[in-house]
Amino acid sequence: MYIPQSTYRLQFHADFNLSRLRDILDYLQALGISTVYASPILAARLGSTHGYDVIDPLQINPEIGTEAALTEIAEELRKRNIGWIQDIVPNHMAFDPANPWITSLLELGPRSPYFEHFDVDWWNEHPDNYGKLMLPILGESLTSVLDSDQLRLSFDDLGLAVRYYENRIPLSAASYTGVLTNIIDQTSDPEDKAQFTRLLVALEPFALDIAGAANPDEWHHFKNQWQDVFLKDKFRLTLTEAIEQLNDNDAFIQELLDKQHFRLVYWKKTEREIYYRRFFTVNDLICLNMQNPTVFDDYHQLLSALIQKDIIQGLRIDHVDGLFDPTQYLERLRNLVGSDTYLVVEKILEEEEVIPNEWPIQGTTGYDFLVQVNRFFSSSTQSDQLSKLYRLWEPEERSYTDIVYDNKMFIFRERMQGELNNLFRSLETLKIIPEANTASSEELQAALAHMLVAFPVYRIYDNQLPLAEESLQLLGKIFSEAQNKAPQLSAAFDTLRAIFNGVPDKSEEVNKNTLYFIQRCQQFSGPLAAKGIEDTTFYQYYRLISRNEVGDNPDHLGMITNELHQWLQSRSLLTMNATSTHDTKRGEDARIRINTLSEQVDEWTKLSTKWKNDHRQYCTEVAGKCYPTNNDVYFVYQTLVGTYPFHISPLEDNYTERLGNYLEKAVREGKANTNWSSPNADYEKSLADFTKSILSNADFLAELTDFAQPLARKSVTYSLGQTVLKAMAPGVPDIYQGTEFWDLSMVDPDNRRPVDYSARRLLLEQFSQDSDTLSQARQLIANPDDPAIKMYTLYHSLQLRKRWPALFAESYYQPLKVTGKYAAHVLAFLRRHQDRFVLVVIPREVIQLLSEDSYFLLGAQWEDTEVAIPELPAGFWRHEFTGEIVHRSETSLPISAILQHFPIAILTNQQS
């Protein structure tokens, strides 16, 4: 099996395509990267910057390159012994007529070969939506749109369509009949009439309401015939005149819309009514019925071919929790790609949750690693003090868990009510409600909402009855929590409990329907968690915003060293270790900086509350309220601590504009004072004005610099520790593009800014050409603002993995005991394989141990702190970052010797 040594995540789009990748291959190879980890490269919506809005899974995105170009890149990578992991999106596609599968649905309806490919409730209860695809693209009601003539019949080289601003919506085959009939009625020339009539006859097999899938090739042939006729100048004029007349005929336009396989609606309607499954609450991403074998086969044709050609060696599966049956999907995928393909899934693991044992994968994309590292580099003792400070800013009576519960319920009621209605309608239609039920329909639907909101994890994965014991235990806790929140629904919970217990003692049909309903619910518990927690609560609860991260729980703070030891001992060698991704809420070094506030709570309390009083003058009174709120102001201050570019000119970093865009997105996501659906312009302006005012205040900037810049410099030890831990711990280190330098980015799209590879390449050349590592190390720590120190640390860590691949592929994690005065401030562990050993030393919580003008804890400052070492063959240790030789006694190594000239250490054994 292909196993990467290290991965480098690249975000492909029009401005960074395969040609641009070729330009940095020398750099990636020199850095020590074994595997390119590519964002989705299948054809996506025009101008896509992320690739998750796939329109055609059967071709490479032309904005990125071609299959031939990809093949050439693969040959080049093979020469360099570099592999390729490809991010794929099996849950959804772009809901866009540019998607040929969607176009086929719009033109052929039930006769389209793709009619069952998308998760659409075609035969729903709505009289106007029955048998139609809901298109929520209108900016107001359809009546208003028609009254103002915003909808126009048109034609182009692709055929007939309705135009609504930039939207082009293909018309059904039957629509061609109406237009042709109108043209024939107004044509006097017998030859012309005959030609149009022949075209009308050719249309009959598609326009008639008959059963069976239409042949897409024959439909394409008809459209070619249509174009052949109306490309002629005189007939193009005839068609143009006919279209203009029909656009003035309101009755015809209304009749035309009635004949379509779609229904146009106001986009906000989906908050209450929806008849297709979307990705989270994104209307223009429509989900697939990937559990259907035909859909699976159709979607993976190109990907399978690329794997068979050895162009791709691994796959990353996006949003695996959105699939109807993740286990079934992963088993099919493994059978398709074979046993040698590396497979990882994007999966949020909550608390004690683990990946199902039956999944034939190598692990996850590493959010679980990110969470543990984030906790480790937070204070393990200051949780209460931080909470006390936060109550000065936000005197919220509710607990964090209550806020999460309320926000998830808000999402269900205000953004996903349509999904809830569909789930309950499915429950009733499937006829699985026990006869003993005494609850009303309203009570059952309310109980279902509470039950799904109470899920502490994204979902369960059972695909047969009875459910696994672990799932039943989890469901017991879920029902207990839900009933505690809504005790008045006790009877309804009893009914749902009977259904979800999944005891297969009913008829085969009832058992089948029960399992279907349980699995169906799981496709919505995940989006509910993501929208309620990551995209709402994380933008409301600001005790320490660095902990508001994907998969994390900001209600918890730090951990003691032994907890991390225990977690890493159980970690797979094959899973990915990530610290930044395209989805993280802020850059890895911004998180580290903000985490340091947990070690400076007293100082931070004094300064932030001073700012609070000083800056009241910049607040705006609107309708008796002070904008922005204290909570959002506190968010701004923490964001500045984490992201202000002390190492570069803010103007050069375009910082003010980036910050403004970020804050607007943050408060809209929070939904407390403004939101995406109905933006509060007054509130957003007040926040923008407040931020500009404080950043224009010289006294504030001086105070921010005096406090945060030294803290940023002292946090360098933790950033380097995070880098080393990612590379040396069990797992495969994943480097997100550009994070070789300080990663102070904010949430997307800020974290997808262009990367300056020329600067990184130049620095790497300097590292590789200078053999005096001790001199380099001393120079680097003399300037902790310079991102060179981080890249240096990463470079040497990756070079070691490249030099000793077997050690990292086969050796496990061995905690080492630390003794002495500062033992609690050191993480030390060993990786060993045959006669090779790697010893890692990483400090933590050292800020309070540093003097005012010192940024690193080095040498004698560690006093009597030592790391105990097991019995190892005779020899000595080489410091990978300084080149120093560290001699050992038989039982221990002093930290003062290990960290004499560099704040982090990787020691490798050398034979004497």
Residue 211 pLDDT > 80? no
- Joined together, the tokens standing for residue 884 give 């120093």
Q: How many CB atoms lie within 10 A of CB 388?
A: 12
Residue 753 three-state SS: coil
Q: Which amino acid is it at 414?
A: E
Q: Which residues pair with 504 in a beta bridge?
A: none
Q: Is the dihedral of CA 492, 494, 495, 500 positive or negative?
A: positive
CA 312 – CA 306 distance, rounded (Å): 6
CA 897 – CA 884 distance, rounded (Å): 10
Residues 6 or more apart whose Cβ sits within 8 Å of residue 464 = 515
Average pLDDT estimate for 786-798: 97
Which pLDDT value is given to residue 911? 65
CA distances from 466 to 460, 776, 875 (A): 13, 62, 58
202 touches 127 (CB < 8 A): no
Per the listing, tokens 């995406």 go with 676
Phi, psi of 3 (to 5 degrees): -125, 120
CA 260 – CA 105 distance, rounded (Å): 10
Residue 912 pLDDT > 60? no
What distance lies between CA 862 and its chain's CA centroid? Answer: 41
Task: Write the DSSP assignment of 663-701 as a string of letters.
Answer: HHHHHHHH-SS--SSS--HHHHHHHHHHHHHHHT-HHHH
The pLDDT tens digits for 427-477 are 999 999 999 999 999 999 999 999 999 999 999 999 999 999 999 999 999
Phi, psi of 137 (to 5 degrees): -120, -5
Average pLDDT estimate for 586-615: 97
pTM of the entire predicted model: 0.95
What angle do helix axes 383-393 and 601-614 make, rounded to 10 degrees? 10
Q: Which residues pair with 622 in a beta bridge?
A: 625
Residue 574 three-state SS: coil
Average pLDDT estimate for 116-141: 95
CA 812 – CA 827 distance, rounded (Å): 16
Residue 639 pLDDT > 60? yes
Which residue stretches of 16-166 are H helix?
A: 18-23, 25-31, 67-79, 100-108, 142-147
Find the helix or strand (DSSP H, E) in which 539 lies.
none
pLDDT tier, 561 (very low <50, low <70, confident <90, very high otherwise): very high
Share of residues in the chain with pLDDT > 90 (%): 89
CA 463 – CA 717 distance, rounded (Å): 47
Residue 873 pLDDT > 80? no
Residue 491 pLDDT > 60? yes
Which pLDDT value is given to residue 781? 96
Residue 443 three-state SS: helix
Residue 623 pLDDT > 80? yes
Q: How many CB atoms lie within 10 A of CB 617?
A: 9
Which pLDDT value is given to residue 214? 85
What angle do helix axes 561-569 and 367-376 make, rounded to 10 degrees? 160
Phi, psi of 858 (to 5 degrees): -130, 155
820 Ramachandran zone, left/alpha/beta (phi>0; psi -120 to 50): left
CA 189 – CA 653 distance, rounded (Å): 68
Round the CA-based radius of gyration of the chain to a whole number and report it: 30
Average pLDDT estimate for 34-59: 97
Average pLDDT estimate for 9-22: 97
Which residue stretches of 788-866 are H helix?
A: 788-803, 805-810
Nearest alpha carbon to residue 734 among 820, 828, 798: 798
What distance lies between CA 20 and its chain's CA centroid? Answer: 24
What distance lies between CA 187 and its chain's CA centroid? Answer: 57
822 touches 847 (CB < 8 A): no
Phi, psi of 365 (to 5 degrees): -85, 0
Average pLDDT estimate for 282-304: 98
526 touches 321 (CB < 8 A): yes
550 touches 580 (CB < 8 A): no
CA 151 – CA 247 distance, rounded (Å): 9
Query: What's the whole-number average pLDDT of the chain?
Result: 95
- Joined together, the tokens standing for residue 294 give 């035909």
Which pLDDT value is given to residue 769? 86
CA 881 – CA 221 distance, rounded (Å): 67
CA distances from 314 to 160, 166, 306, 308, 502 (A): 42, 38, 11, 11, 36
Which pLDDT value is given to residue 231? 85
Residue 46 burial (10 A CB sphere; 0-12, 13-18, 19+): middle
- Joined together, the tokens standing for residue 798 give 């990756």
Which pLDDT value is given to residue 473? 95
Residue 879 burial (10 A CB sphere; 0-12, 13-18, 19+): buried
CA 111 – CA 55 distance, rounded (Å): 20
Residue 717 burial (10 A CB sphere; 0-12, 13-18, 19+): buried
